[in-house]
A and B are shown apart, each in its own frame.
Chain A
Amino acid sequence: MSGSIDLYKDVWVFAEQNNGKILSVTFELLGEGRKLADSLGVNLCAVLLGSGIQDKAQDLAARGAQKIYIVDKPELAVFNDESYTAVLVDLVNKHKPGILLCGATTVGRSMSARAAALLNTGLIADCVGLVIDPATKNLLQTRPTLAGSLMSTSVTPGHRPQMATVRRKVMKEALLDTGRNSEILLQEVAAEVLKSRTKRLKLEVEAETTVNIVDADIIVSGGRGMQNAEGFAILRDLAGVLGAGVGASRAAVDSSWIAYSHQVGQTGKTVCPKIYFACGISGQIQHLAGISASDIIIAINKDPDAPIFKIATYGVVGDLFKLIPILTQEFRKLLKK
């Protein structure tokens, strides 16, 4: 951090893009950032890094970004921890935002942690609540800790920017807001800043994650109750009908029935779907840590005392091997598939 904290003003949103497509979490951050900017009386700005991405500024302007800082360089074609962080740090030092928000994605968490260390400022990871304290004008940042068993609210009182990564699908997306003037500010950075000692050699997209569970509106998850790898076939049928992602408990992953990238929970992914089906999952705290923000949780379990029923919106007691195929059939009828 350089200079007095009073010099740091605007609210910045890191506009994460992948292959030129802006991630939806960016629009959620603009939605939340708008509230923060209005309560502070400052500008809402976006930072967009990449290669050949300048036309995407329109999408950000349409969601209320008043200033859009763009660095468009071939070196930034794919995310790189070192160069992306260095560019972000450079822009922050030049323009001095008071608040900097990133999505709590792999990219966002990795980059913002490095950036916070370099900027000598605080970062609160995986926030689910952000609000300006009317008395101090500091950003109050709320996040779950200890596998979701507790919540904490923190501040970064003496350092700027106040940084946060924000959990996906918790904040509401910014509405289309075309009435504002947006300035597009194409930024130059020194060649030094674009250098990196790491390089992506290739990307392997996982065939099965056709519906990525962190983005999915519906997730169908299986646990030890699925009995074996073949058991997951009935879940995939259900997921296919619903256009849902397939998730799993650690017990299922540890038994090698399904890849680790599907694991939901404290040691796996945190998800936030509209509907979460927990099939043959008992509902241990480490699993619940990953699903507690779901709108609706449906539990299918033969044990009426399974802890999952204590938190499920709807519970069905019975044998999942009988129940799931009927459920799939009913949804197929409903959705005319």
Chain B
Amino acid sequence: MHIVVCVKQVPDSQSVKFDQNTNVMLREGVASILNPFDAYAVEEALRLKEKLGGSITAISMGPAQAESALREAIAMGVDKGILVNDPALAGSDAWVTGYVLALAIRKLGDAGLVICGKQGADGETAQVGPGIAAHLNVPQITYVRKIDEIDDKHLVAQRLLEEGHEFIDSSLPCVLTVVKEINEPRIASLKGKMAAKKAQIVKWTVLDIGADPAKVGLGGSTTKVLKIFAPPARQGGQIFTGEPEQVIGRLVEQLKDVVTAAAK
């Protein structure tokens, strides 16, 4: 099976910057890492390939430096990396990202399964996976915590819900988004790192994938960020120290009313 993993480069949380005019997150020239959630997607693809054979392609849409996220995936064992990179894509929102990645996957032609992370650690929209599925007109299973069964035509996966988990059968091709519980990502081997260094990253432009130029980038985005601001700070309150019985007594005194109201 040909498995596609979508990997995103996200700014290291210490070094986030925004464009003063557009409020778009600046991605060029900022210290960045592979989206931590996407490492689970890569790992799951590797495990499936070990079982089913075939190949894995990692795709990323982003600036030139996003290549390094693809190289990280290749170091873990992914066969090939594709970067969709075009100045016209700058400022794209989640809608555009889903559209563009779906076109890139369609261009590959033979993807049997697409795996995404649950969400990006930056925007945390969790929208791109379902967006890809919608644009490709294939089913989706989000928040997958385990794949129980898989062959060429279908799979059975467990999706994490608020109250437990459900077992879902889906025809293939489909799109999965995976949660952290699904596996423990491997550390890249030395051989993998060497391969990653040498690997040729394929580059596709908006034209290459046949995207409508009016639907991409800042201009094509459906949403606009008006402002970015610091959240109202939570103030620290009262700290109790002393003998356990005493401090608990004081705490319970404070909480008496709320606890009586909220306890079930």
Q: Which A residues contact B (CB, under 8 angstroms)?
A: 18, 81-82, 85, 105-106, 109-110, 113-118, 120-126, 140, 144-159, 196-206, 209, 211-212, 214-215, 217-218, 241-244, 260-261, 266-267, 273-275, 285, 292, 295-298, 304, 309-319, 322-323, 326-327, 330-331, 334-335
Chain A to chain B contacts (Cβ below 8 Å), 5 pairs: A113-B134, A150-B230, A151-B230, A156-B224, A200-B167
Please name all residues of chain A whose beta carbon is closer than 8 Å to the beta carbon of B95 when the two chains form the complex: 116-117, 120-123
A199 and B169: CB pair below 8 A? yes
Bound: A314/B241 CA distance, A: 11
List 16 other contacts, CB 8 Å, given A113-B130, A148-B231.
Answer: A106-B160, A110-B143, A123-B94, A144-B231, A153-B225, A197-B138, A201-B168, A201-B169, A218-B263, A260-B180, A261-B165, A314-B239, A314-B251, A315-B237, A327-B251, A331-B263
Return the 8 tightest CB-CB contacts between A and B, nearest first. Answer: A243-B264, A122-B222, A117-B134, A113-B130, A122-B223, A260-B181, A113-B127, A206-B164
- Decide if the interface of chain A is mainly helix, strand, loop or mixed: mixed
CB distance from B86 to the nearest CB of A (A): 20
Please name all residues of chain B whose beta carbon is closer than 8 Å to the beta carbon of A202 when the two chains form the complex: 166-167
Please name all residues of chain B whose beta carbon is closer than 8 Å to the beta carbon of A159 when the two chains form the complex: 222
Please tell me if B254 contacts chain A, counting CB pairs below 8 Å: yes
A204 and B140: CB pair below 8 A? no
Contacts known (A114-B134, A117-B98, A309-B236); A206 close to B165, Cβ less than 8 A = yes
Please tell me if B217 contacts chain A, counting CB pairs below 8 Å: no
- Decide if the interface of chain B is mainly helix, strand, loop or mixed: mixed
Contact of A330 among B143, B234, B252 (CB under 8 A): B252
Contact of B140 among A81, A122, A203 (CB under 8 A): A81
Mark the stretch among B44-52, B59-67, B117-125, B201-209 that contacts chain A.
B117-125
B263 and A243: CB pair below 8 A? yes
Across the two chains, which residue of chain A brings its CB closest to B229?
A151
Bound: A92/B160 CA distance, A: 28
B226 and A155: CB pair below 8 A? yes
Q: Within residues 155 to 191 of chain B, which ones have a CB less than 8 A from any CB in chain A?
A: 156, 159-171, 174, 179-181
Bound: A159/B247 CA distance, A: 56
Please name all residues of chain B whose beta carbon is closer than 8 Å to the beta carbon of A260 when the two chains form the complex: 145, 160, 179-181
Bound: A155/B226 CA distance, A: 7
What 0/1 pattern do residues 233 to 264 of B give for CB contact below 8 A with A? Answer: 01111111100110111011011101111111
Contacts known (A113-B131, A206-B163, A314-B251); A326 close to B245, Cβ less than 8 A = yes
A212 and B162: CB pair below 8 A? yes
Bound: A170/B49 CA distance, A: 43
CB distance from B138 to the nearest CB of A (A): 8
Across the two chains, which residue of chain B brings its CB closest to A104?
B126
Bound: A10/B245 CA distance, A: 57
Contacts known (A125-B126, A145-B123, A314-B237); A153 close to B164, Cβ less than 8 A = no
Across the two chains, which residue of chain B brings its CB closest to A269?
B162
A154 and B251: CB pair below 8 A? no
Across the two chains, which residue of chain A brings its CB closest to B135?
A117
CB distance from A190 to the nearest CB of B (A): 16
CB distance from A123 to the nearest CB of B (A): 6
Bound: A150/B229 CA distance, A: 6
Please name all residues of chain A whose beta carbon is closer than 8 Å to the beta carbon of B254 when the two chains form the complex: 314
A123 and B241: CB pair below 8 A? no
Please name all residues of chain B whose beta carbon is closer than 8 Å to the beta carbon of A318 when the two chains form the complex: 241, 244, 247
Please name all residues of chain B whose beta carbon is closer than 8 Å to the beta carbon of A146 when the two chains form the complex: 13, 16, 121-122, 124
Please name all residues of chain A whose beta carbon is closer than 8 Å to the beta carbon of B228 when the two chains form the complex: 145, 150-152
